Amino acid sequence: MRKDKQALLAAKRERLDVEFAKYRSKPFEQLYRLIEDEEGGEIEINGIEMVFSAFAVDENDGRLGVLVEIRRMRFLGWSQVQVRGFYASPNGSTVEMENEDLWDHGH
């Protein structure tokens, strides 16, 4: 892998980690709003335009599944999608999603 691509992926992962930590520290009530109102928009990382988004899914067991992702649009579709997710409970506890959980949520 070329150094510039490695640097871009590393910068994207760093930004994802910052956003993930920000959302993981939010109160349950604020996260619940992400079910109806996804947050995000265009961002720039190392001079490349990308799309950031954070959204939630009601897990029907009292918890929310919260996903934070950064995507880069290339040619015919999305590529280089990086995502992290966690489950949030009303008592304020959170548990990071495993890879299988991300797949269950479409990633």
The pLDDT score that the predictor gives to residue 41 is 93
Long-range Cβ pairs for the range 93-99 (8 Å, 24+): 94/24, 97/65, 97/67
Q: Give first-to-last CA distance, the chain, whole Å.
A: 23
Residues pairing with 18 in the sheet? none
Residues pairing with 55 in the sheet? 67
Quick check: pTM over 0.85?
Answer: yes
Per-residue pLDDT of the chain (107 residues; tens, 9 = 90+): 577 888 888 999 999 999 999 999 999 999 999 999 999 999 999 898 899 999 999 999 999 999 999 998 776 665 678 999 999 999 999 999 998 887 777 65
The pLDDT score that the predictor gives to residue 1 is 59
Mapping DSSP onto H, E and C, the string for 30-75 reads HHHHHHCCCEEEEEEECCEEEEEEEEEEECCCCCEEEEEEEEEEEC
